[in-house]
Amino acid sequence: WESIQADDNLKSMFVGTVMRKIKSRTWKKHRYFRLQEDCMTIWYKSKKAANAHSTFSVGDVEAVREGHQSEVLLSIADEFPPDRCFTLVFRGRRGNLDLVAESAGEAQSWIKGIRKLIDNLENMGQREKLDQWICDWFKKADKNRDGRMNFKEVRDLLKMMNVDMNEHHALRLFTMADKSQSGTLEDDEFVLFYKMLTQREDVLRVFQEYLGDGQKLTLQDLKDFLREEQLHEDGVQQYALKLIERYEPSDTARMLQAMTFDGFLMYLTSPEGSIFNPSMVELYQDMTQPLCHYFISSSHNTYLLEDQIRGHSSVEGYIRALKRGCRCVEVDCWDGPNGEPIVYHGHTFTSKIFFKDVVTVLGNYAFKASQYPVILSIENHCSVEQQKVMAQHLTQILGDKLLKSPLDGKILIGLPSPEDLKGKILLKGKKIGGLEDGMNGVVDDPLMGEVSDEEEIAEIDDDHHRNDSIRHRVKKSKQHLSKELSDCVVYCKSVHFTGFKHSQIHSKFYEISSFTESKARKHIREAGAEFVLHNARQLSRVYPSGLRTDSSNFNPQDMWNAGCQIVALNFQTAGVEMDQNDGLFSQNGYCGYILKPAFMRNIDERFDPENPQNDGYKPLSLSIQVISGQQLPKVNIKEGSIIDPLVRVEIHGVPLDQAKQETRYIDNNGFNPVWYDTLQFTIHVPELALVRFVVEDYDKTSKNDFVGQFTLPFTCIQPGYRHIHLLSKDGTSIPPSSLFVNVRITKLM
């Protein structure tokens, strides 16, 4: 940190700067911003002395954008030059902070300074992160700012940290840590106090079980532990040496090829000791299969940041979804002023944005998180004239990124693979004629596109608005399609779904049908195996019911169980459904494509999600011993309230696998609760199962409060003693909150 604090940009940030905080064309207020001494917190307040101040952590900032790179700053571009403007983008669903500095130099100081701090945080080891975390707590608790802590300050700190400790025990630790016997704790004494406080008895028990007759695990002890508990089979010697090299802090132990308790704890809290198999975090799947053989991370009405009726439409919705690895985004296009098509949720009060701005953002952000193709799903309500403008924007802005003709040599055999389509944007929409017509040189009359707008009918039909006049009117409305826009559609031609038999005989591989969630559920109930087969041949899209005006989500698992690839969720809405989506797509390099299990890709197999005991049926038993929790975040801001945590484990999979079980709750301990409760599950279709760990604050009178969660595919679980690093409601990490578990997976047959 010392080297950092000497940085000139940071020096001026410590002094502080007055900048304008901008919320809209009319809301532009001066705020005084300053970096705190911890190099982690930015503090700001209005110039009025009495007003409260706000803070945010540099750790919450995902990126700094320079210039007019947000809608708000674009709206005032005529007022402030780009070299004075910048935007802080936060993780999760928190809104941007748009700022205008008094001079270009000051803007640069903050831009470079914050970027340096972000880099520094990302390059910190675990040890340093923990020390930083301890240091932050020290600053929070040192109320009188004298750099030392008396016993009262320590007691208040324990409350802030979610620890309910009796006075006597706290005093004992305090006295042991106060080596200088000054009645206060200085820096290193506080670190010692913290280490005693966080002594991991649970991990020590495991460590001692494998200890020979010394203080350290020998290489052989460590190998025994890795084989017997962590179920490592191949190359155990190599792996054990790698762990010692990577996590053992003591040079002496490293020389002896041994591991101390500190090293053992570092290993168990590292990615290697995580429940998520690190080799599956990377890109590990075959990416050369046809597009319809993958689940594809997909967003619904991507332009909305809130609800479906009055919500704010924004290009930020696209940026956020694409950065989360989403590979199918949606636009609803309507005729706009001066011949420019606009995007918003038709017939509602949601605000409007220009189609060309969405396309620009798509061009800029499509391939930041993943190189694999992005599908732009267009719901088109524009006149032929404005459709031509849409086609022009797509072609001019996206250039080579837009796929405009079938890939060479892959014309009529089937869908290309994600690998074939790397770096390409595909348009999903109506098309005049088929792919073959274009190939045979047949050119239709340019205005001939009579296409009825089936998606609207589906939605109205489905959501029990059995109002015949509406249905009648929609069925009749035929829409003209411009040839230019039609030509931009290659492998994703939207068609109306008639039935599985009809599709089997008449459907083309490049056709895609959309289903509302209730239609999809009906097909799964009545013809699950048919649906799975249909999805082995072509793409299907499922979207939320029109009744979900609050942007809530349906359970995506039901749709994945039937092999539906494009399951469109409202990314802006946190909750169990987005946790499932994040969980499924957190493997395979976050690339937004997950290969479906073999039994869903094979045309000769009959897999029925409702009745999954097929030929390759191999049920497994999953046993999870929930041992302990570490430093769970506070839920209630109320002074002195401490959580009563319980852990629930949920299995999301085929109906037969859906299950949940909970531990008991622990009174008043969010800091280091210990359960040692074992939960048992049977998993019938492991390839489709997700496991979700949820921590809640037990409340006997009302609904439990959410504390944190972590969701992962069953196939990505590493057995043995593992830590689970919890995530917030928004899916962002909340270090150092974790659970410690022991996982066992055994065959039942």
Give the whole-angstrom CA distance, residue 241 versus residue 274.
18
Q: Do domains 127-198 and 620-747 have the same CATH topology?
A: no
Report whether 47 belongs to an annotated binding site.
yes
Number of neighbours of residue 686 by Cβ within 10 angstroms = 18
Report whether 30 belongs to an annotated binding site.
yes
pLDDT at 65: 96
CATH code of the domain made up of 291-437+447-455+478-600? 3.20.20.190
Q: What is the DSSP letter of 134?
A: H
Report whether 25 belongs to an annotated binding site.
yes
Q: At 470, list the tokens.
A: 């509406």
pLDDT digits (tens, 9 = 90+) for 609-656: 998 876 667 899 999 999 999 989 887 666 567 899 999 999 999 999
1 has a pLDDT exceeding 70: no
Report whether 32 belongs to an annotated binding site.
yes
Give the whole-angstrom CA distance, residue 574 versus residue 305.
12
pLDDT at 671: 84
Report whether 596 belongs to an annotated binding site.
no
Q: At 218, list the tokens.
A: 């020998």
Report whether 702 belongs to an annotated binding site.
no
User: Is the model more confident about 178 or about 463?
Assistant: 178
Q: Is 489 helix (H, G, I), strand (E, B) or coil?
A: strand
Report whether 40 belongs to an annotated binding site.
yes
Report whether 28 belongs to an annotated binding site.
yes
pLDDT at 46: 81
Report whether 109 belongs to an annotated binding site.
no
pLDDT at 479: 65
Q: Which residues of 651-684 are buried (b: 16+ CB within 10 A; e: fewer)?
A: bbbbebbebebbbebbeebbbbbebeeebebebb
268 has a pLDDT exceeding 50: yes
Q: Which among 710, 713, 711 has a CA at the least distance from the CA of 689?
A: 713
User: Is the model more confident about 439 or about 506?
Assistant: 506
477 has a pLDDT exceeding 60: no
pLDDT digits (tens, 9 = 90+) for 325-362: 999 999 999 999 999 999 999 888 888 999 999 999 99
| 5-31 mean pLDDT | 91
Report whether 33 belongs to an annotated binding site.
yes
pLDDT digits (tens, 9 = 90+) for 81-114: 999 999 999 988 888 999 999 999 999 999 999 9
End-to-end, the C-alpha distance of the chain in Å comes to 56
Domain residue ranges of the chain, discontinuous segments joined by +: 1-123, 127-198, 201-273, 291-437+447-455+478-600, 620-747
Report whether 644 belongs to an annotated binding site.
yes
Least confident of 142-151, 247-256, 596-605: 142-151
Give the whole-angstrom CA distance, residue 332 versus residue 561.
28
Least confident of 286-295, 300-309, 578-587, 717-726: 300-309
From the list 68, 293, 345, 534, the catalytic residue is 345
Q: Which residue has the tokens 């270009």?
A: 104
Q: Right CATH number for 127-198 from 3.40.50.300, 2.30.290.10, 3.30.565.10, 1.10.238.10? A: 1.10.238.10
Q: At 488, list the tokens.
A: 């931009």
Give the whole-angstrom CA distance, residue 666 versus residue 683.
28
| 183-207 mean pLDDT | 87
pLDDT at 452: 42
Report whether 46 belongs to an annotated binding site.
yes
Q: Contact, 17 vs 45, CB < 8 A?
A: no
DSSP bridge pairs for 494? 512
pLDDT digits (tens, 9 = 90+) for 649-690: 999 999 999 999 999 999 988 888 999 999 999 999 999 999
- To the nearest whole number, what is the mean pLDDT of the chain? 89
| 136-157 mean pLDDT | 81
Which run of H or E residues covers position 122?
helix 104-122
- The shares of helix, strand and coil residues in the chain, as percent rounded to the nearest 5, are 35, 25, 40
CATH code of the domain made up of 1-123? 2.30.29.30
CATH code of the domain made up of 620-747? 2.60.40.150
| 544-572 mean pLDDT | 96
Q: Give the E-state strand segments of 369-508 in sequence order.
A: 374-380, 425-429, 449-452, 478-481, 489-494
pTM above 0.85, yes or no: yes
Give the whole-angstrom CA distance, residue 165 versus residue 110.
42
Give the whole-angstrom CA distance, residue 588 versus residue 594.
7
Longest CA–CA span in the chain (Å) reads 93
Residue 345 appears among annotated catalytic residues: yes
Report whether 48 belongs to an annotated binding site.
yes
Q: Which residues of 535-572 are buried (b: 16+ CB within 10 A; e: fewer)?
A: bbbbbbbbbbbbbbeebbbbbbbbbbbbbbbbbbbbbb
From the list 68, 300, 652, 723, the catalytic residue is 300
Report whether 274 belongs to an annotated binding site.
no
Report whether 38 belongs to an annotated binding site.
yes
pLDDT at 16: 94
Percent of the chain past pLDDT 90, that is, above it, reads 68
Our CA angle for 491, 494, 499, nearest 5°, is 115
Report the Cα 545 to chain-centroid distance in Å: 23
Our CA angle for 219, 224, 225, nearest 5°, is 100
Cα dist. 460→167, 475, 518, 718 in Å? 64, 11, 12, 46
Our CA angle for 646, 651, 655, nearest 5°, is 140
Give the whole-angstrom CA distance, residue 530 versus residue 499.
10
Q: Which residue has the tokens 């945080």?
A: 121
Fold adopted by 201-273:
Recoverin; domain 1 (1.10.238)
470 has a pLDDT exceeding 70: no
pLDDT digits (tens, 9 = 90+) for 486-524: 999 999 999 999 999 999 999 999 999 999 999 999 999
Give the whole-angstrom CA distance, residue 128 versus residue 134.
10
pLDDT digits (tens, 9 = 90+) for 209-234: 999 878 999 999 999 999 999 999 99
Q: Contact, 714 vs 686, CB < 8 A?
A: yes
Report whether 368 belongs to an annotated binding site.
no
Residue 534 appears among annotated catalytic residues: no
Q: Contact, 562 vs 609, CB < 8 A?
A: yes
Report whether 36 belongs to an annotated binding site.
yes
DSSP bridge pairs for 46? 31
Q: At 383, list the tokens.
A: 């006149």
Which range scores top for mean pLDDT: 100-114, 177-191, 404-418, 730-744? 100-114
pLDDT at 466: 38
